[in-house]
Structure 1
Amino acid sequence: MNGFFGRMQMRLAGWMQGRHGTDGFSNFLVAVAFVLLILSMVPGLDLLSWVSLALLAYSLVRCCSKNLAARERENAAYERIAAKPKRQVGLLRKKWENRKTTRYFTCKGCGQTLSVPRGKGTLRVVCPKCQTETTKKS
């Protein structure tokens, strides 16, 4: 640990003290920048490489920023916006994993996603959110 790389690691850790570091929004910016960088290889989309470079630079500035309150507000806004798509992707993943054992449908009253076990015949289902009663074939 006392070698060159160990000393560099200690210096970098000391330099990063009091700085923001990475968070979900920075990771998202880097991912979008790499997607745009790959898309910029398509002829006619050369401008995307500059946008990608700008996003990478902004992400780096966010990581090295000492203004923790502003970075936390930005990340909280990102998390608030990204919460619904993340929840929908998680539900789609869950539906795919349980597709052989569970049947999913939405409540007509409130839009809540409900599930019933497959192969149990016709079931009477009560929505836990709005108490709407429906009959569904599993």
Structure 2
Amino acid sequence: MRFRDRFARFMYGRYGFDDLGRFLMYITLLLMIFSTVFAWRTPFYICLVCFVLCYFRIFSKNIYKRGYENDKFLCAKGKILEAFRRAFGKKNNSADGYRSGCNCYKGRVYDAEYKVFKCPECRQKLRVPRGKGRIQITCRRCGREFIKKT
């Protein structure tokens, strides 16, 4: 059996490499260069911790927890990129494949179970369960009734 096959069998059921792992590797490389150039020990130890954390995430078997961590990282990264894009005047977020919304696991489940409508009168957001067909919705704030399809 070749090394590649043995490694593939070893990695089966493990999380692997993702955006957070790639970010940690870049930070590790940057800190390693920084600690070598300035001959300081503190960046080297921080680099070592980032390196161990990155490989812990790669070889972890707790896939859901690592995926949740990566989702949180992507959410924070998206917020930071959105702030930079607003600051430097880039107007169209969707043209380059970037979405500014933060879709964490709870949000995905929430979107799958409910549909959100706005009241035509007072613009209050109303949450309605999906899959009920045409229903009459009553606004909690103003009392207006309207019919929508879920």
Structure 1 residue runs of 5 or longer lacking an equivalent are 96-104, 106-111, 115-138
The one-letter code sitting in structure 1 at the alignment partner of 2:91 is: T
Structure 2 length-normalised TM: 0.53
Rounded Cα–Cα distance in structure 2 between residues aligned with 1:88 and 1:9? 43
Identify which range, 15-24 or 36-45, moves more after superposition.
Answer: 36-45
The alpha-carbon deviation at position 43 of structure 1 amounts to 3.2
The one-letter code sitting in structure 1 at the alignment partner of 2:9 is: G
Rounded Cα–Cα distance in structure 2 between residues aligned with 1:52 and 1:22? 18
Hey, what does 1:51 align to over in structure 2?
46
Rounded Cα–Cα distance in structure 2 between residues aligned with 1:66 and 1:52? 24
The alpha-carbon deviation at position 69 of structure 1 amounts to 1.1
The one-letter code sitting in structure 1 at the alignment partner of 2:48 is: L
Equivalence map 1:52-71=2 (5 Å):
52-71=47-66
Identify which range, 76-85 or 13-22, moves more after superposition.
Answer: 76-85
1:85 matched to 2:63:
no
1:15 matched to 2:3:
no
2:36 is paired with a residue whose SS is coil
Rounded Cα–Cα distance in structure 2 between residues aligned with 1:113 and 1:30? 31
Equivalence map 1:105-124=2 (5 Å):
113=91
Hey, what does 1:37 align to over in structure 2?
32
1:20 is paired with a residue whose SS is coil
The one-letter code sitting in structure 2 at the alignment partner of 1:35 is: L
Structure 1 length-normalised TM: 0.58
- Runs of 4+ in structure 1 off by over 4 angstroms are none
The alpha-carbon deviation at position 54 of structure 1 amounts to 1.1
Give the count of matched residue pairs: 91
Hey, what does 2:144 align to over in structure 1?
none
What percentage of residue pairs aligned between the two structures are identical? 25
Structure 2 residue runs of 5 or longer lacking an equivalent are 93-150
| Backbone CA RMSD of aligned residues | 2.6
